[in-house]
């Protein structure tokens, strides 16, 4: 039986290599919904190569994928056969039972995958991860050197000291940036920083929030100290804004997404002086804790529940083509790939170092997203100085409790 599976899988790999168009599928529909960044574009371009011979391939890459995925997959048949998910979006889809288990498909077509790529919940494979991502530190060594700092900051206390040195040397007024736009981005900064304390977000085994404590206060205070060195407009900063500021040479220290590494380091949109002195390093630790203050994310493939088995199989095979080692080899710098054929590059140094430093993955809890939004919406008053850290935490707790009750997580 096992031998047979291996032979079938082997046969598909052979087919995939010899017949370029077709990828070994003869019929079925493939329709992929995903976020929009270079690594995913590389994957979906390879998936599109499977079109033809009775196979249709469509893709929809949009940063608003999270907003439409639940409605699109609830329909029967689902509008998309596959969504490229991450830690948090997979949970949202699983909460409503919208993605199918991949055990059979992986057994049949997944021989080329690393075992670590499997995302299993309760023993069932629910997604196949293909790349890793995390927010980590970006530093400008030339500016640091001018301010008399020779090493890359390893802790947020060092970041603050370096920012102070840069400011007092008159090099930059606002050397620091984080993705601090209220909502999801600001929520993520809190989650990352709180992760660095090693404390839990919820009372174990329950949906009751547990951030209203000394760790929460310290987290808020650390974020406030950092934004004191940010441009006064920081409450409008999302990933695109911080990347643009970095490329314009206005920043010296920033916590940005790993996937922004490649676009920042390439020769477009920035000057030689900025790109040549930009160094990507691990997310800093803080408060004498060992764990980097960041969350590890993966991007992975999921297959919709409400589609025919034929389409599911066609989609899975096409997606395997999208994350094959050939694709990885041709796009080394675009992501930290988890599949075979990847050799780390300078653009991935930050994510690798953050993972190696022991950062924790973003919690795959059904109510994490609700807390994330409550934090992101209730925190800006504190950062602007109009309320105390304790009040902000009480507000977050109250907002979360009301929302989680509505979602049925709390009674």
Partner 1 sequence: MKNRTFFWFILPSLVTMVLFIALPIGSVVIQSLHIEHSAVLKEVKSCGPFGCKNQVQIDVEATAALKEEKPLGQFTGFGTYKNRNHLALNELTKAWGTSSTWEHYFSKVYNLPFYRALAFTLTYTFVVTPLVLLLGFCIALGVNSLPKWIKGPTIFVSLLPMIVTPLIGSLILFWMIDAKGIFGASLQWIFEDPNLSLKASSTLTWIMLIVYGVWHSAPFAFIVFYAGLQTVPTETIEAAMIDGASRWERTRYVILPHLVPLIVFISLIQLMDNFRVFEPIVGFSAQASATSLSWIIYNDLTGSEGSFFGSAGATSVLTILGVAVLLIPVLIRTWRDFSRKVV
For residues 75-104, which are near partner 1 according to CB under 8 A? 87-89, 91-92, 94-97
- Closer by beta carbon to partner 1, 28 or else 363: 363
Residue 42 makes CB contacts below 8 A (sequence gap 6+) with: 327, 330, 331, 334
Host H or E run for residue 83: strand 82-86
What does the DSSP assignment read for 248-259? TT--SEEEEEGG
Q: Phi then psi for 266, rounded to 5 degrees?
A: -70, 175
Using CB under 8 A, pick the residue from 29, 44, 231, 281 that binds partner 1: 231
365 binds partner 1 (CB under 8 A): yes
- Closer by beta carbon to partner 1, 38 or else 182: 182
Using CB under 8 A, pick the residue from 51, 103, 142, 183 that binds partner 1: 183
121 binds partner 1 (CB under 8 A): yes
Contact 100, 77 (CB under 8 A): no
Q: Which of residues 36-65 bind partner 1 (CB under 8 A)?
A: none
Exposure string for 129-140, b = 16+ CB within 10 A, e = fewer: bbbbbbbbbbbb
Any idea what DSSP says for residue 1?
-
Q: Which of residues 237-256 bind partner 1 (CB under 8 A)?
A: 238
C-alpha 82/C-alpha 48 separation (Å) is: 13
C-alpha 385/C-alpha 224 separation (Å) is: 9
Q: Which of residues 188-207 bind partner 1 (CB under 8 A)?
A: 205-207
67 binds partner 1 (CB under 8 A): yes
212 binds partner 1 (CB under 8 A): no
132 binds partner 1 (CB under 8 A): yes
338 binds partner 1 (CB under 8 A): yes
Kindly state the smallest distance separating residue 24's Cβ from partner 1, in Å. 26
User: Judged by CB under 8 A, which stretch of 46-54, 102-110, 261-269, 398-406 contacts partner 1?
Assistant: 398-406
Contact 55, 314 (CB under 8 A): yes
Kindly state the smallest distance separating residue 61's Cβ from partner 1, in Å. 16
- Closer by beta carbon to partner 1, 22 or else 363: 363
Partners of 34 in beta bridges:
61
Any idea what DSSP says for residue 170?
T
Using CB under 8 A, pick the residue from 2, 122, 150, 267 that binds partner 1: 122
CA distances from 149 to 19, 166, 252 (A): 56, 9, 12
Length of the chain: 411
Build a one-symbol-per-residue string for 340-359: x at contacts with partner 1 by CB under 8 A, - elsewhere: ---------------x----
C-alpha 294/C-alpha 292 separation (Å) is: 6
Written as six digits, the tokens of 76 are 């029967």
Using CB under 8 A, pick the residue from 3, 18, 123, 288 that binds partner 1: 123
Using CB under 8 A, pick the residue from 36, 200, 233, 390 that binds partner 1: 233
Kindly state the smallest distance separating residue 151's Cβ from partner 1, in Å. 27
Any idea what DSSP says for residue 332?
G
Q: Which of residues 250-309 bind partner 1 (CB under 8 A)?
A: 296, 298
Using CB under 8 A, pick the residue from 81, 85, 117, 331 that binds partner 1: 117
368 binds partner 1 (CB under 8 A): yes
137 binds partner 1 (CB under 8 A): no
C-alpha 178/C-alpha 172 separation (Å) is: 16
């Amino acid at each position: 039986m096992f031998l047979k599976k291996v032979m079938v899988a082997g046969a598909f790999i052979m087919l995939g290599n010899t017949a370029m168009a077709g990828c070994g599928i003869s019929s079925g529909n493939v329709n992929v919904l995903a976020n929009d960044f270079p690594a995913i574009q590389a994957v979906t371009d390879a998936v599109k190569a499977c079109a033809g011979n009775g196979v249709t391939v469509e893709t929809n890459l949009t940063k608003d994928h999270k907003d439409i995925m639940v409605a699109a997959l609830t329909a029967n048949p689902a509008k998309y056969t596959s969504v490229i998910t991450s830690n948090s979006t997979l949970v949202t889809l699983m909460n409503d039972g919208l993605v199918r288990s991949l055990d059979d498909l992986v057994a049949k077509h997944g021989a080329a995958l690393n075992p670590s790529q499997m995302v299993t919940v309760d023993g069932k494979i629910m997604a196949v991860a293909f790349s890793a991502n995390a927010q980590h530190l970006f530093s400008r060594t030339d500016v640091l050197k001018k301010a008399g700092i020779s090493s890359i900051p390893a802790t947020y206390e060092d970041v603050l000291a370096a920012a102070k040195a840069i400011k007092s040397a008159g090099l930059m007024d606002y050397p620091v940036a984080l993705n601090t736009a209220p909502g999801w981005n600001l929520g993520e900064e809190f989650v990352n920083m709180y992760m660095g304390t090693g404390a839990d977000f919820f009372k174990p085994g329950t949906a009751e929030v547990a951030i209203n404590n000394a760790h929460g206060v310290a987290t808020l205070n650390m974020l406030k100290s950092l934004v004191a060195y940010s441009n006064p407009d920081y409450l409008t900063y999302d990933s695109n804004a911080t990347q643009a500021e970095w490329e314009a040479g206005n920043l010296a220290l920033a916590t940005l997404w790993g996937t922004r590494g490649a676009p920042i380091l390439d020769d477009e949109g920035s000057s030689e002086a900025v790109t040549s002195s930009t160094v990507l390093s691990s997310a800093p630790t803080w408060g004498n804790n060992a764990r980097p203050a960041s969350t590890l994310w993966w991007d992975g493939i999921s297959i919709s529940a409400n589609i025919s088995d034929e389409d599911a199989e066609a989609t899975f095979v096409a997606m395997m083509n999208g994350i094959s080692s050939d694709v990885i080899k041709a796009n080394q710098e675009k992501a930290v790939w988890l599949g075979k054929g990847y050799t780390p590059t300078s653009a991935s140094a930050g994510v690798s170092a953050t993972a190696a430093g022991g950062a924790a993955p973003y919690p795959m809890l059904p109510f994490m997203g609700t807390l994330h939004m409550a934090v992101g919406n209730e925190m800006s008053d504190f950062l602007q100085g109009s309320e105390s850290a304790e009040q902000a935490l009480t507000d977050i707790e109250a907002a979360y409790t009301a929302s989680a009750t509505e979602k049925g997580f709390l009674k």
